[in-house]
Amino acid sequence: MVMKTIKLTALFFILLLFMNITTTEAAGAVKIAYTVTFPEAQAHYADVEMNISGLAQNTLDLKMPVWTPGSYLVREFAKNVESFSVSANGKDIRSPKINKNTWRINAAGVSAITVKYRVYCFEISVRTSFVDASHGFLSTTGIFIYPDKMLNTPSTIKIVPYKGWTTVSTSLEAVNGDTFTRYSPNFDILFDSPVEVGTQDVFGFEAAGVKYEVCMVGGGNYDKEMLKIDMAKIVEQETKIFGENPNKHYVFIVHNYQRGGGGLEHLSSTTLGASRDNYTNPAGYRGFLGLVAHEHFHLWNVKRLRPIALGPFDYDNENYTTDLWIAEGFTAYYQNLVLRHAQITSPEIYLTAITNEINTIENQPGAKIQPLAEASFDAWIKSYRPNENSANTGISYYDKGAMVAMLLDLEIINDSKGKYSLDNVMKYMYDTYYKQKNRGYTDEEFKQGLEKFAGKNLDDFYKNYIYGLTPLDYNKYLGYAGYKIVDEAAGSNEPSLGVITAENAGKKYVIGVQRGGAGWVDGINVNDELTAVDGAPITDMGSVLDGKKVGDKISVTVLRDGLPLTLPVTLLRNNRLRYKVESLPNVSPQQMVVRKKWMGLLGE
Ligand SMILES: [Zn+2]
């Protein structure tokens, strides 16, 4: 099927051989060869030539995906394509577009065609292509046009580097040892294999029996030897959870920027964004390792063990799932847990990460509006298209999904008296749905997997926390491990305007209005420029409410669309929660069993 990799390549050849022997009409007769050149890399162009042979049809539709798996937004990659032409036997063939991402070719009487087009690549992110004179990053969904209904066709990709470029990094296999020519067994794999070409710094390590390649683009103050050791620990720890590492070769493509972040998972590789000077800062380095742990965990969770809607993919449309809280939220949970279990971070740092996650969720008004399953389903139109009201109306399936994973982990460890954990569920689901059934799981099947190890029915859990808006009962579940949360801001009676501001050229603009806060109630708007409080010009937002109390009526003067407006505002209590995870004063033996298993304290 679509999601396999190197292992499948061998199988593919065997199948091809078999088909050639047993059938006269070989399904693999169509051959596709791409050549990518960069004659104008400095102006951000990749030039693609695609040669298709073995055609036997009157009409051929060529398409470009509208999205890239893992990043749930229709990005319309065809918008970057220009100078599209098709020829056969040296003659041009008409190739009109029939919709935003499809070109229709009259292929009657021709068996081979050449397609040429240029792609403008100037969007810096882990899921879009970028080319300049220093390097080229090909996010393949936005580079390679494919023949409709031929997703299973293999292809070769020849990269002709721009002057000075020496190195290609991708998980696609080299053809005959030529690093500039790569082979893809089918389009699902091609679209899941980004390609970096340039002068990157490449180093490797071996872990869990797999050859890892790290490709560093853009420089940085990283310590290679330290990275090799810590990244190998992460790989080993994650492999232990699933019981096997399905790759033979895996590539980390790291883009180092002045300020960078984010990552995108692939089957046998990942692209990470990092800040080039952050590696020597302990928190920055931990953050990078967290990103490594997150994206690498995805090679199992979402790339192989996956919601049924996420593979095989529909590259023309949104692919809806209510399970991103598992695909992303569980991965976000494990990214911290894996660092703790690999003894990279201390128990204190782990608990701080949990604390931050809880505060993020509980201070987000949208947590009371949008259920977790809905946040996942609407990722395409909401979380990937945030606006000024997002915090008031939605919740992140990363943050809340991670905390739901924590509650479930604690539940399973507690119920089984330390025998099982969420790890067992992940391995069971991977074995059952990826390895045995070779398909994605349904919502119900994942729930059954959880119930199998929790030893109880989770109907209410799902009703409350996944489909409903019941606040997560942290104290119940953390209590299993002898912890509780305490709100350190509980006694405060500080007044607040309930708005978020940003300064631009000395002016203070409202960029967010918190649902239910004073500004919300009394009509301060996003984009208002705050100019005065009680007639006194505002110089510093930090001291604007000095001497004021909750319940005070003040006047706030704003410039709205250039016009002055004075609003009476009644100050409300700053209801920001400041939770901290603390140990209970007395921890029972059972709680200690749960704590040790959860926190990976067994050897300590
Ligand atoms: Zn992720």
What is the residue-wise DSSP string for 200-258?
Answer: -EEEEEEETTEEEEEEEES-----HHHHHHHHHHHHHHHHHHHS----SEEEEEEEEES
Ligand 1 centroid distance, CA of 297 (Å): 9
User: What pLDDT was estimated at residue 345?
Assistant: 97
User: What pLDDT was estimated at residue 584?
Assistant: 98
User: What pLDDT was estimated at residue 603?
Assistant: 56
Query: Taking the mean position of all CA atoms in its chain, how far away is CA 86?
Result: 36
Handedness of CA 542, 543, 547, 552 (dihedral sign): negative
pTM, two decimal places: 0.94
Q: In sequence order, which residues have a C-beta less than 8 Å from that of residue 451 and are 6 or more positions away?
A: 457, 458
User: What pLDDT was estimated at residue 29?
Assistant: 87
Ligand 1 centroid distance, CA of 291 (Å): 9
Ligand 1 centroid distance, CA of 302 (Å): 9
The answer to whether 220 and 279 are in contact (CB under 8 A) is yes
Ligand 1 centroid distance, CA of 71 (Å): 9
**Separation in Å, CA 170 to CA 213, 399, 558:** 9, 31, 53
- For residue 71, what is the DSSP state? B
Helix (H, G, I), strand (E, B) or coil at 309: coil
User: What pLDDT was estimated at residue 284?
Assistant: 97
Q: In sequence order, which residues have a C-beta less than 8 Å from that of residue 601 and are 6 or more positions away?
A: 347, 595
The answer to whether 73 and 380 are in contact (CB under 8 A) is yes
Ligand 1 centroid distance, CA of 330 (Å): 9
Q: Tell me how far apart the alpha carbons of residues 158 and 265 are, in angstroms, rounded to a whole number.
A: 24
The pair of structure tokens assigned to 220 is 């940085």
Ligand 1 centroid distance, CA of 309 (Å): 16
- For residue 450, what is the DSSP state? H
Ligand 1 centroid distance, CA of 86 (Å): 38
Ligand 1 centroid distance, CA of 69 (Å): 11
Nearest alpha-carbon partner for 397 in 332, 334, 337: 332
Q: Tell me how far apart the alpha carbons of residues 183 and 175 are, in angstroms, rounded to a whole number.
A: 6
The answer to whether 200 and 179 are in contact (CB under 8 A) is no
Helix (H, G, I), strand (E, B) or coil at 556: strand
Nearest alpha-carbon partner for 250 in 297, 219, 210, 280: 210
Ligand 1 centroid distance, CA of 298 (Å): 7
Ligand 1 centroid distance, CA of 44 (Å): 28
Helix (H, G, I), strand (E, B) or coil at 147: strand
Ligand 1 centroid distance, CA of 155 (Å): 28
User: What pLDDT was estimated at residue 27?
Assistant: 47
| Spans in the chain with pLDDT lower than 50 | 1-28, 604
**pLDDT tens track for 409-446:** 999 999 999 999 999 999 999 999 999 999 999 999 99
Handedness of CA 181, 182, 187, 190 (dihedral sign): negative
Ligand 1 centroid distance, CA of 208 (Å): 22
Ligand 1 centroid distance, CA of 61 (Å): 33
Of all residues in the chain, what percent are helix, strand and coil, respectively (each to 5)? 35, 30, 40
Encoded amino acid at 352, one letter:
T
User: What pLDDT was estimated at residue 17?
Assistant: 41
Ligand 1 centroid distance, CA of 146 (Å): 27
